[in-house]
Structure 1
Amino acid sequence: MPPQNKSRANPLRGQPTDDQEAKLPTQATDPSPLTRSRTGLALNPRRFMSVVPVALLMVALPALAQEPTAEPEASSVPEESAAPAPTPEAAPVEAGAAQPPTTTGSGDTQPKAGPSAGLLQLPQQAPKDWGTLHVVVFIGRRSTPALGVMARIGETRAVTNEDGAAGFSGPGGIHNLYLLVPRGLVPGAPGSSPAVEVKISEVPVVPFETTELIVTLSESGAVTNQLLEVAKKSQTSQDEEDSFEKRKATNPAGLLEGLLLSLDTKKPVARARVFVRGAPVEAESDAQGRFRIELPAGEYALSIIHTQYSTQTVDGIVVPAKGKVEVPIELSPSSVELDEFVVTAPHVEGTVASVMDERRDTSNVADVLGAEQMSAAGDSSAASALTRVTGVTLVGGKYIYIRGLGERYSSTLLNGADLPSPDPSRKVIPLDLFPTSVLGSVVVQKTYSPDMPGDFSGGVVQLRTRGVPEKFHFSLGLSTGANSVTTFQSGNTHRGGGRDWLGYDDGTRSVPGEWLRLTEGGTKTASLSHITPRSARPSAQDKVGLFEHNYSAQQVTMPLDLGVNAEIGDRLTFSNGAKVGIQLAGQYDNGWMFRGEDRGQITIDTVTGGFRRDFPTAIRQTTQDVSMASVGSVSAEFGKNHRLESTTLLTRKTAKNSSLDRSITNDSGEREKTTLSWNEQQLFAQQLRGEHEFERLARLKLSWMANYSTASRDEPDTREYSYVRDTPTAEVPNPTFRYLVASGPLRRNYETLMDESLVYGFDLKLPVSLGAKSELLLSSGGLFSRVDRDARVLRYRFVADGLSDEERALPLDQIFSPERVASGRLDIQDEFLPTDAYTAKTRTSAGYLMGEFIREKWLRFQGGVRVESALVSATTRPFVIVNPMQVPEVTGAIEQTNILPAGTLTLNTTEHSQLRIAVSQTVNRPQLRELSPAKFIDPETRIPYIGNENLRQADVTNYDARFEWYASATEMISFALFRKDFTNPIEITILPSGEPGDNNLRRFTNIPSARNYGAEMDFRYELDRNVDALEGYFLAGNLTLIRSEVEIPEADKAGSTNLRRPMQGQSPWIANLQLGYSDPEEGRFEFLVAFNMLGERIVEVGQSGIPDAYEQPVPLVDFTASYAFTERLRLKIKGRNLMDPLFQVEQAGLSQRAYRRGRSVAVSLSYEF
């Protein structure tokens, strides 16, 4: 948005601006507040009611002036500091008295004031020892400007305008200020009088200067915040004003441009007011912190006033004739934070206004979610929050698809650093690991820029942790929740360790230490039936008893979910000017979830030639989820140009699963499979970041970061076994389930994975002046990243020989009892695959050069190039069996250097709209295991895969265009078009049946080409724009239409049914809609209703003539409401999946999978100390 450049009188004085002529009753021709409301110019009914007492007070104003209200002033101010008595010529003017024309501080001549117009009364000519007092009054927690408050010092009075501002001149000295507040503005104040008087003691009025006083009142009329600044904004000396008029008439005009930045965050400061001393002009900074004023050539002094920053004065600014001078100014945060002068959302980290500013100001096509939006929607993790973003869908509850592209085409950064993954089959980290309580904002960048990683196709998810607060903050929250199909219902669990409630296994599930010692870490057993005769391996039989004797699931009544979170932070300032801030946040959640799912396998009916549903299976799974997260940040600032920050993040997610699957077997018998598992995932990250600005080097800026992180997955002692029973007959109507010895014996697996990552890089930014109307920002930087992965799986089969039918009917705990272990009838056999252990690594080094050219606020072009070299390799390491040379190591690798250009053009078509066009070239590299030609099993889907050492990277050309229109700080609408052309994209194909049980073997391969294109629409609208009764309500939503096409060559067809199909996981449309409300007066009550729905998408590629399997659309409706009992205590209620639809996967028109999640509700209570 271009900067505001208005030569106007200062609205803080109560004078009308160019766009406020009909609103501010400062002229004799203005109607009274009552008349203005009646004529429809004041549409807000609450403001109308608040002005009624003011109108009544104005009628009685002469009488009020005779009351002895000056006595407290005389008694509370020392005699030597009291204001001198005004001379008859300079006596304050009583309201209602007819006066000759008066001169304002801006030099404008006002007409004679009538009895009903004089809200601002000034003397005919201010003496030289007088000063000016500007008062701004806010009401309530949201700091709403107070209209109609009468401010009085002695007999001088003024009434606040719609900005809550009033001003008058008076003699220098220390005074008491009295505010007469209409009761409608402070309904909680004691008493029943039409107005409440508030006293502000010892307010200084400095001769020749302007004192700014900002006061915030609670609903009860108490002063909650008070900011006093003596700002040298305008000198009332007539000589200086005359000098400006002479300079204006004789000197050529020049241009003064400024950039306002926060001293703490280095972010632009928007909506700050800039005054020129001795000149009747002012400006307001835009969203980029910029302002522009045209002035006659000469020397000037500026004063900058903002509610969240201390007033700043800059002297000695020389404006050249017919030229331009640029002035960068940094503002220090004030000790008291207040909202903006005007009723708009303040630019606070994580608010709707701040993230919308970032979306508008970035040179890329990006969507931003702030902490305020995530909290309002009740999202508990980054994964669920991202479903509100245009063009983003969630797969498996943890992986995102951006614009129809799978997780392989996306990457995740934490504060700018790449992260490792605890998933052995994927490089992307599951986003359900990040609770929203530790995040300040989430940015989804959809267009590539050279400062981003080159492996970029769908987009980059940038997670940002919460920043350090400006002042002391401590909050504590408790929560509980329930689900309609889970809470207080019967579910299954299994015995674990003593620390299960913390999400940590205490060693109960670990491989026994003695077994590891005997088998050299589990890789060499004495029980290799396919190599060594049984007679030669008696030791395995003796050691069965070393393993934990725990096989059965127990029924449990699932309790309420519980959670607790806390946050504390502060910022300290030392005598040498250094500032140190600290922020700590933590969260713990313990919840339960039950899923009853019906599955079937779609096959071809050999009789009819159609399709049928075979092997129906009823899955009953109970999961206890324990999640913990903590983040700590420490920042240090040394002067205004150097900042260091350290961030430590630890997040964990543990799932304790107990699953019972009952299915019909081939011979129409019944099979019951039990699976008991424990899965721990953890991410640890330690970051160091620095920002430095070197003023002597043309304001060169250096930012750097170093990040060490680890991601681990530990799944110890997953137990699987089955029981079967025959088909019921007339003779045996209820046959007994018996332990399945042959094909379904007890299996125990131990899986571990560790990713270790080190990333460090730097960025340089140099502003270059190109004259009065253009500027250039040059950027350059480098990055190095290394990731090392080590993964392994230990697989054992426990065999029980010679069991009778009666013994097979016993529970497994009794079959594998210590007595049978001692009898030698049990044995341990390994089921190791040569590929069950592997190592992998990536090495990436990159450098980029980028420039951003800006021309007169209407054009911005960002372009550059990135050179990136990458090595990706995976080595399958065989377990030692007898001779390690029998299974050689297998390595797949790809190493390539790419030159990746990108350019984005932004045109500001109007003051509030802009058009972006972007073109870029990126790549998509194989993931770690995809390069190894060895067979492996996905730990989540249990589907077998085989890699391909001949894989090549995919090249992607990206095209984007987006039009954005911003109606206000919180309102916008945008339309976007995008297209992506892929060369050699990596897809999954199904191989023909080769080995028994390998009929579902998948392989990664390059196909010649693919396309992906679509359109997006996004909007946010405040409903009170045209209807005052809907103040506080907003409507937001987005719609995405996507089409993709994959063509599989005949040679790679294998078992695939369709050679041309959409990309797997891509929905043809995605829709989101939100209706929300936030109490505009006090902000006590808020609610949000959110709707999400997406079109059908492929979840499994069809094979052998069977069509693709599609997940069907379902409507998802969520609800969040919160109420603040006080400014510190808040209650929040969340409802999830309120319609509880049936989630279904269809294949050939038949149901392959179907389940319901149940309705969920959660209640939380938070308190800020």
Structure 2
Amino acid sequence: MKKQAVLNQSKLGLAIALALSSSVAYAQQDEQTSSDTAIEEVVTTGTRLQGSAAAVVEERKAQAFVADILGAEQISRTGDSDAAAALRRVTGLTLVDGKFIYVRGLGERYSSTQLNGASVPSPDPTRNVIPLDMFPASIIESMSVQKSYSPDMPANFGGGNVDIRTVSIPSEEVFDVSIGTGYNTNFSDDGLSYSGGGDDWMGEDDGTRALSAEMLEALARYQESINTANIATYEGISFADAAVINRNLAASLNTQNEVYSKSMSPDIKGSLTYGNNYDLGSDITFGFLAGIDYDTSWSNTEETEEVLGIANGEAVVNQRSETRVTQQDVEVSGLLNFGIQVGDYHKVETSTIFLRNTADRVEQGGIETPNSIDEDNLSYYDTDIRYEQRELLTNQIRGSHYFPQFWGFALDWQYADSRANRDAPGEVFYRRINNRDLGEGIGDLAFQQTRTATTLQYQTLQDDAQDWRVDGELPLYLADMEILVKGGGQVSKKARSSFSRRFAISAEQVANEDLVNVGYNDLFSDANLTNGEFGLALFGAPTATDPNYLAAQQIEAGYGLLDVQVNQDWRVSGGLRWEQYTQVAAQLDIRDMTMIGDPAEAGRMEDDIYGSLALTYQLNDEMQLRFGYGSTVVRPDLRELTEVIFVDPITNFKVRGNSELQTTDIDNFDVRWEWYLPSGENYSVAAFYKDLANPIEAVEAKGTDSDRVITFLNGQAGEVYGIEFEFLKDLTSITDGLFLTGNVTLSDSEISIANTGNVELTNNTRRMTGHSEYVANLQLGYDSLNGEHSASLIYNVAGERIAFAGVKQGEVGIDDAFEQPFHSLDAVYTYYPDFNSKLKFKVQNLLGDDVEIEQNGRTIQSRNVGTAISLEYSYSF
């Protein structure tokens, strides 16, 4: 961390490179006689090319198993704001939905995530993995992506394991402050907002959207059913008196949700970090680091979507929509680390990390259903308001101890207690008929005389995780061999609860003339809700299909590993891991918290041994060749084993679980050649192959309406294979300070899935969902010799990938849907005006590319991203 602190204080940003090169000692000796001379040495011998890569290159070279490391300086160069965006720069990784990382073409389920080596819970209602956009770049010291399996890692390992390492305690005083702003070209059009939003600039609902105290009391009293008939039966009163109670409960809900146009505000971000280290005497040091980060940003997009069906033997459009979506994201993060060190041998650290991410989303636009509505005359006009608050709080304590008196035995231990929450209060949806006879665009808008004139939904999710682990290692020496014996154990527990309440306000008894050209706030005003003559009524009663469930998981593991340096040429590492996996997932009846279904089918237990072997051959001082094999599994998520329907907040698809899912067994093979040059240049070529038994895939199920319903199936077999190229090239032969770095992955995959009664696929053998046949990253960088300027031009693209598989209707099938390549070109320029400060200017999506999904030769989904511009100033005291 001291090296990082030096970097923060140096306008040249070259200290890391120098600290990892032989020129450091020379520069330090010179500094004793002439500070000016030492500074001159920095200018002539260091480059940011080395500074951004040297530390991570050294760690990667020393790894026994194939891994890629991404350091904080590399993240800063590309200007990525969170872990998800940064990881797409790593060889073979692709970013999906801006939140999830696919490693070597395998979906997010096949990649595990750790925070400082500990498992973390997830606030996502349809996935067991945590969305990586929750981790701001400001708290990240480095990220490790291990691609070949080692037995000291969880056996739930497919594409790879991502370990996010947060910033650690500094060795000297650090005080950093930054502030920034941003703008998107999509801001030229007005966005959308709504009247019932409340004051939530800190990323937390102020209570406006939450269920009222009166409603919560009524739900407890009436066993979750507040329908008039149930109230009358429970209270023993007349239907008319019960209707009064029902209408008053309706008025207690937040029904002031009129949507209006709003000018877009610029993005705002800021951070503050302070840390220090103190000598307490008796060879004891104490240190701490505290930081807070705030970011509020807006997106304003135009989106289109089509849902295809089969009519007269060909694909037709069953539903078409054109909508505008405005979303405000607020991110608040905090970090507090404490540490104490006794001598050089014993250290204990604690970390408390708090992350909050809020998305306030309004979607509004026309929906046409050609099979039932004459699109030349009538259409639907839908409004969908969603507010989602995700939080992660984790407390970690870890220790490292070295005992030279016991033959150099070292002991590491860690305990982590984490909780992830998702709160989605007051999701509002309403549909109106759009009569366009009056002319172009929107004509008369009329609410429908239905029981669901508007719906309001309240969801909560809590995911808790506890992680204990202990690792010990002992070095042994036998003849010319150096042997490291390592072993340990780990216990991981997870528990998840998810509850949802849904209410509808009926307009079945409201006169037609009161439903035409009336605003939402006017129609659902307290006066109308409580007026028995007007005709509005509240409905809300649990059903067997409500997405309420409890799930728990426990993994107990032990492992042993040998790392043997046979001679100067060969290194052999390998071992075995035993894991016992227990999981229970049960759908609940929220009225009495009883389980729905057979309890005997709610749980499962597995017990197995998983092995790995890695060989490293040192060709010479600069080159090495690696071989790796690992036997691993990927298990169904907690959520996927419960057969309830959720709406995925990212894709808007309905998602249903499958209690029959089986564990996927994987054989992983890797080989990689690496060449590290003294100048800092490096090159590598890798090949990989993965054989999957019972791979899990997300597929489209047969539905009863025009909405897509996604479920999960086991395929019979699957395989993924490919080759990766990576390089870092100094281009000072063209001009001083210029360099080029990048990587390319070429791969293919295949999966075989049989049809079921609920799923009939068009292609039973195809590529795996989410797999791209190519991924490319290129970065052209420049560092001025005077250390005042730094610039990078960064390009990223992933080949088309299956968004969801096509299904058959009768004998005719709809093709698979492919997400098209998104060509991302970003530019980052940093100016260092003085010793302590820097100014960063960033432009993202210079090409103005859009996100598109194609099916049957049609663009069935599109979203314009726009070009984002941001400016950030930071100062280090």
- Normalised TM-score (structure 1): 0.69
| The structure with more radius of gyration | 1
Taking the TM superposition and a 5 Å limit, the aligned residue runs for 1:650-661 are 650-661=354-365
Deviation for aligned residue 1:969? 5.7
Contact 2:460–2:498 (CA under 8 A) maintained in structure 1: yes
In the other structure, the counterpart of 1:803 is: 510
Structure-1 separation of matches of 2:647 and 2:560 = 42
In the other structure, the counterpart of 1:784 is: 491
In the other structure, the counterpart of 1:712 is: 421
* CA shift digits 1:788-811 (9 cap, x unpaired): 111100100011343233311211
2:136 aligned with 1:435: yes
2:265 aligned with 1:556: no
2:65 counterpart (364, 380, 383): 364
Structure-1 separation of matches of 2:638 and 2:713 = 14
In the other structure, the counterpart of 1:815 is: 523
Q: Residues 1099, 522 of structure 1: CA spacing in aligned structure 2 closer, same or farther, 3 A cutoff?
A: farther
> What runs of 5+ residues in structure 2 fail to find an aligned partner?
1-9, 234-238
In the other structure, the counterpart of 2:176 is: 475
2:227 aligned with 1:527: yes
Contact 2:761–2:807 (CA under 8 A) maintained in structure 1: yes
2:406 counterpart (675, 680, 697): 697
2:841 aligned with 1:1133: yes
Percent identity among equivalent residues? 31
Q: CA RMSD in A?
A: 2.9
* CA shift digits 1:911-947 (9 cap, x unpaired): 1010110011001111112222444443444434443
Structure-2 separation of matches of 1:904 and 1:578 = 39
Taking the TM superposition and a 5 Å limit, the aligned residue runs for 1:781-930 are 781-809=488-516, 810-824=518-532, 825-830=535-540, 832-834=542-544, 835-880=546-591, 892-930=602-640
* CA shift digits 1:351-402 (9 cap, x unpaired): 4210111111101111111000000100000000011011111111101110
In the other structure, the counterpart of 1:510 is: 210
Deviation for aligned residue 1:639? 0.8
In the other structure, the counterpart of 2:804 is: 1100
2:607 aligned with 1:932: no
Give the secondary structure class of the aligned counterpart of 1:408. helix
* CA shift digits 1:129-183 (9 cap, x unpaired): xxxxxxxxx997747999xxxxxxxxxxxxxxx969999xxxxxxxxxxxxxxxx
In the other structure, the counterpart of 1:190 is: none
Deviation for aligned residue 1:815? 1.0
In the other structure, the counterpart of 1:1045 is: 750
Contact 2:222–2:231 (CA under 8 A) maintained in structure 1: no
Taking the TM superposition and a 5 Å limit, the aligned residue runs for 1:22-421 are 142=14, 214-215=31-32, 221=36, 343=46, 351-421=52-122
Structure-2 separation of matches of 1:165 and 1:403 = 41
Structure-1 separation of matches of 2:12 and 2:329 = 41
Structure-2 separation of matches of 1:1012 and 1:821 = 58
Give the secondary structure class of the aligned counterpart of 1:520. helix
In the other structure, the counterpart of 1:544 is: 250
Contact 1:1019–1:1036 (CA under 8 A) maintained in structure 2: yes
Give the secondary structure class of the aligned counterpart of 1:519. helix
Q: Residues 1040, 557 of structure 1: CA spacing in aligned structure 2 closer, same or farther, 3 A cutoff?
A: same
Give the secondary structure class of the aligned counterpart of 1:910. coil
2:776 counterpart (1054, 1057, 1071): 1071
Deviation for aligned residue 1:604? 3.5
Give the secondary structure class of the aligned counterpart of 1:750. strand
Deviation for aligned residue 1:343? 4.5
Deviation for aligned residue 1:886? 8.7
Deviation for aligned residue 1:1034? 1.1
In the other structure, the counterpart of 2:380 is: 671
Contact 2:353–2:395 (CA under 8 A) maintained in structure 1: yes
Structure-2 separation of matches of 1:681 and 1:1055 = 35
2:769 aligned with 1:1058: no
Q: Residues 522, 399 of structure 1: CA spacing in aligned structure 2 closer, same or farther, 3 A cutoff?
A: farther
* CA shift digits 1:835-880 (9 cap, x unpaired): 4211101101100000000033321111100001111211111122
Higher RCO, 1 vs 2 (CA within 8 Å, ≥6 residues apart)? 2
2:420 maps to a residue whose letter is A
Deviation for aligned residue 1:831? 5.2
Deviation for aligned residue 1:603? 3.3
In the other structure, the counterpart of 2:292 is: 586
Give the secondary structure class of the aligned counterpart of 1:1066. coil
Q: Residues 1107, 141 of structure 1: CA spacing in aligned structure 2 closer, same or farther, 3 A cutoff?
A: closer
Give the secondary structure class of the aligned counterpart of 1:839. strand
Deviation for aligned residue 1:594? 0.4
Deviation for aligned residue 1:999? 7.5
> What runs of 5+ residues in structure 1 fail to find an aligned partner?
1-137, 147-161, 168-210, 226-337
Contact 2:589–2:596 (CA under 8 A) maintained in structure 1: no
Give the secondary structure class of the aligned counterpart of 2:529. helix
Structure-2 separation of matches of 1:139 and 1:1008 = 57
In the other structure, the counterpart of 1:1016 is: 724
Contact 2:17–2:50 (CA under 8 A) maintained in structure 1: no
2:658 aligned with 1:953: no
Structure-2 separation of matches of 1:884 and 1:765 = 48
* CA shift digits 1:107-146 (9 cap, x unpaired): xxxxxxxxxxxxxxxxxxxxxxxxxxxxxxx997747999
Contact 1:706–1:761 (CA under 8 A) maintained in structure 2: yes
Structure-2 separation of matches of 1:163 and 1:948 = 60
Deviation for aligned residue 1:892? 2.4
Deviation for aligned residue 1:885? 9.0
Structure-2 separation of matches of 1:733 and 1:1008 = 50
Q: Residues 374, 823 of structure 1: CA spacing in aligned structure 2 closer, same or farther, 3 A cutoff?
A: same
Contact 1:893–1:931 (CA under 8 A) maintained in structure 2: no
Q: Residues 528, 443 of structure 1: CA spacing in aligned structure 2 closer, same or farther, 3 A cutoff?
A: farther
In the other structure, the counterpart of 1:323 is: none
2:776 maps to a residue whose letter is A
* CA shift digits 1:770-801 (9 cap, x unpaired): 12x22000000100111111110010001134
Structure-1 separation of matches of 2:325 and 2:17 = 55
Structure-1 separation of matches of 2:113 and 2:630 = 19
2:681 maps to a residue whose letter is E
1:500 counterpart (197, 200, 207): 200
In the other structure, the counterpart of 2:349 is: 645
In the other structure, the counterpart of 1:685 is: 394
Give the secondary structure class of the aligned counterpart of 1:724. strand
Structure-2 separation of matches of 1:791 and 1:1162 = 38
Moved more, 1042-1051 or 415-424: 1042-1051
Give the secondary structure class of the aligned counterpart of 1:877. strand
2:801 aligned with 1:1090: no
In the other structure, the counterpart of 2:469 is: 761
* CA shift digits 1:646-666 (9 cap, x unpaired): 111001100111110212233
Moved more, 609-618 or 964-973: 609-618
Q: Residues 374, 1019 of structure 1: CA spacing in aligned structure 2 closer, same or farther, 3 A cutoff?
A: same
Contact 2:82–2:135 (CA under 8 A) maintained in structure 1: yes
Contact 1:892–1:933 (CA under 8 A) maintained in structure 2: no
2:218 maps to a residue whose letter is L
Give the secondary structure class of the aligned counterpart of 1:501. coil
Structure-1 separation of matches of 2:285 and 2:215 = 56
- Normalised TM-score (structure 2): 0.91
Give the secondary structure class of the aligned counterpart of 1:500. coil
In the other structure, the counterpart of 1:331 is: none
Taking the TM superposition and a 5 Å limit, the aligned residue runs for 1:613-624 are 613=317, 615-624=319-328
Q: Residues 441, 496 of structure 1: CA spacing in aligned structure 2 closer, same or farther, 3 A cutoff?
A: farther
2:735 aligned with 1:1034: no
